Each structure stands twice: as structure tokens, then as C-alpha cells.
Amino acid sequence: MEIIRPGTNIDFIGKRYIAYVLSGLILTITIVLLIWKGPNFGVDFTGGLLIQVRLDQQRTPDEIRKALQPVQLEDSIIQEFSEGGQLEYLIHTTKTDIDMQGLHEKLEQALAIEFGKNVEIRRVEMVGPKVGKDLRQKALFAIYYTLLILAIYISGRFEAKWLMSVVMAGALALVVVIASGFGVSITWLIVIATIVTLGLCCLLKLKYAFGAIVALIHDIMVTVGAFVLTDREFSLSVVAAILTIIGFSLNDTIVIYDRIRENLKRVKKKSFPEIINISVNETLSRTILTSGTVFLVLVSLYFLGGSVINDFAFAMLVGVITGTYSTVYVASPVILIWENAPVKNSKGKT
């Protein structure tokens, strides 16, 4: 099925500098937000206690904190959200020395005294600080190792440079070991390793791997920026969403890269930029259909799926949009860095 007529020639490559400015602006805003506000880690990563309650009337955070004084939770962070027309509240505290024995009943009694009997404790979760730290580290490593393995695969798949990919992996392992020996934090370790990965892709001329990694980093950063901007919590379900976004975006990128490789053998009289533009246009119907159907499903999950998967659906919605955009305007144009051929637009101008 095709919704774009064959022979369509939209000048995506000619508009790439506009896309670069837009992406650069969004990434700059994301970095500023990360430095200014920082990510809002959930109980999965920080450790502590998470309580979800349903009330029959709207209450202010101060009123809820006052009601929680009998159970020593008056310093908690209160977040309000709606669920099926009901008012629900998330109560989060970083305390880890709370006695869980009978806590559910104590919470229900304390809130009932202040707000009446129409109080429902939906869930009570406790995560220790060491477990939270370990989960945060493993989440970062999961995302980084996914990017590394994909870089190795793409280099071998599209450029037949398996040996170079192995050399890159070995060099990165050495960098990680050296950086770990100096006591570098996990966050900075991942940043250093990512920069080294991109540097090695340039040095070894692994252009397809470089383009794919840049596009995936772009998608991850935009998703993270959306979460920081909306003050949503990062949890294990969000990490799962980010890994899913990586797979979705890469799948679209591989389809276009495969068509570029086919057209390089089939079309001999066109320049490399023109071949990229032709390939993007030829796969445009597939990209729109795939992304469009996934987007409709995610919209349904976001509005009808409930609070449990709301953050997951939100992350996926942002990821599908930015993943489709980055495949066309980031992953494909970036490989032109290795080409010296002049770029022509659809009107034949250089």
C-alpha cells in the first residue's frame, strides 16, 4: 500500500540545514533544562516510599501533608493527577527507614480522620537507596550498550567493516576501564564513552554507524527533554520506552539505509545527495504508514490506558514523532559529511 505516489521528489536533503538548526535548538533547550532543573527521578531510581491515594474531593498539598503528620510523612512531595474522573495523588518521600508493618492501615486511618471515610490507598511501594542507585546505573548502561551494539551491527551490515567495528568495541572497552579506574561517575562515564564512540566512527569512517548513533542520541535527548519540561518522573517503564524508541527509530533508519545501498548500485548517473533524496522519497509511504499506525495506538494508550502506563505512552508518543523526523532529517543527511559532492536542490541549483 502506498499513500505517496511513485516518482514523488520532495527535497528533504535541500532542507537539511533548517532541520539542523531546529534540532540544535531543541537539544540546547534540553541541555539547559537538565542543568537547570535536572531529571525528576522516580522512586525506582532514588529509593524511598511511593504512595498513591484516591480522594473524593480536591485537596491542596499542604492539607495532605498535614493529614500525614501522624505517620511522619509531612515532608513528602505531593503530585495530583486525574484518573477516570477521580482525584488521585502521588505521595513520594525519600525516607527509607519507615516501618512497612501496618503502614497501609495507618495511612488510611490518618487520611480518613482528616478527609472522611472516602479514602482509598491504591498502592504503597518501597525501594531501598542501594537498589535505586543500582537500577539507575544499570538503566544508563542498558541504553549505552544498546547504542554500541547497534553501531557495530550497522557498520558490518552496510559497510562490511566488521573488523573495524570490533576494533571500535575494544577501544571503547579500554576507555571505560581507564575512566572507571579514575573513579568517574556513571553519568560522565557514559558521556565520555558516547563521545569516544562518535570519534571512532569518524576516525574509522563508519559513516552509517555515525549517522544512526547521532539520530538515536537525538531521539533520546528530545524524549528526556520532554520529560524534564513537563516535570514527569523517570521510572523503569520510561527506560523501557526509551529502549523501545531506539529500536523503532533504528528500524526506520535501516530501511532507508538499505534503500540507499540498493540505489547506489542501481542508479549510476546521480550524485550521492540525490540518491539519498530518492531513497527517502521511495520509503516515505512506508515511514508514514508505520509511524502513523503506531502513533494512533499510542494516543489511545495515553488517553485510555490509565496512570500506570501514562508515562510510558507519553515517552513513546514523543519518541515516535522525533524518531520519524530524525530518520529523514538527521540519520540520512549526516552521512553526507563524508561526501564532497555538491548538493543540488529539486530545481537543479547548487
Q: In whole angstroms, what is the distance from residue 35 CA to residue 331 CA?
A: 27
pLDDT > 90 in the chain, percent: 13
| pLDDT given for residue 319 in this prediction | 93
Q: Which three cell numbers stand for residue 343?
A: 548538493
- pLDDT for residue 264 is more than 90: no
Contacts of 344 (CB under 8 A, 6+ apart): 14, 271, 273, 274, 350
Scan for cell 493527577, then name that residue.
81
Average pLDDT, the chain: 81
Name residue 278's amino acid. Answer: I
Residue 293: pLDDT above 60?
yes
DSSP secondary-structure letter at 83? Answer: E
Q: Which pLDDT score is estimated for 7? A: 65
Residues 117, 279: Cα–Cα separation, whole Å: 64
What are 196-234's pLDDT values in tens digits? 888 888 887 888 888 888 998 899 999 999 999 998 888
Confidence band, pLDDT 50/70/90 cuts, at residue 342: very low
Q: 13-42+131-161+207-338 and 48-127: same fold?
A: no
The DSSP 8-state label assigned to residue 330 in this structure reads: I
The predicted-structure confidence for 28-47, as pLDDT tens digits, reads as follows 999 999 888 888 887 777 77
Cell 505517496, located at residue = 4
Confidence band for 343, pLDDT divided at 50, 70 and 90: very low
CATH 3.30.70.3220 at 48-127, yes or no: yes
Domain definitions of the chain by residue range: 13-42+131-161+207-338, 48-127
pLDDT value, residue 59 = 84
Query: Whole-structure pTM over 0.85, yes or no?
Result: no
What is the CA angle 89-92-96, rounded to 5? Answer: 150
Strand partners of residue 67:
none
Q: Span 92-103, mean pLDDT?
A: 75
Contact 140, 187 (CB under 8 A): yes
Does 302 score more than 60 pLDDT?
yes
Partners of 166 in beta bridges: none
pLDDT of 19 > 80? The answer is yes
CATH number of 13-42+131-161+207-338: 1.20.1640.10
Region 134-141: what's the mean pLDDT? 74
What per-residue confidence (pLDDT) applies to 150? 77
Does residue 249 contact residue 219 with C-beta atoms inside 8 Å? Answer: yes
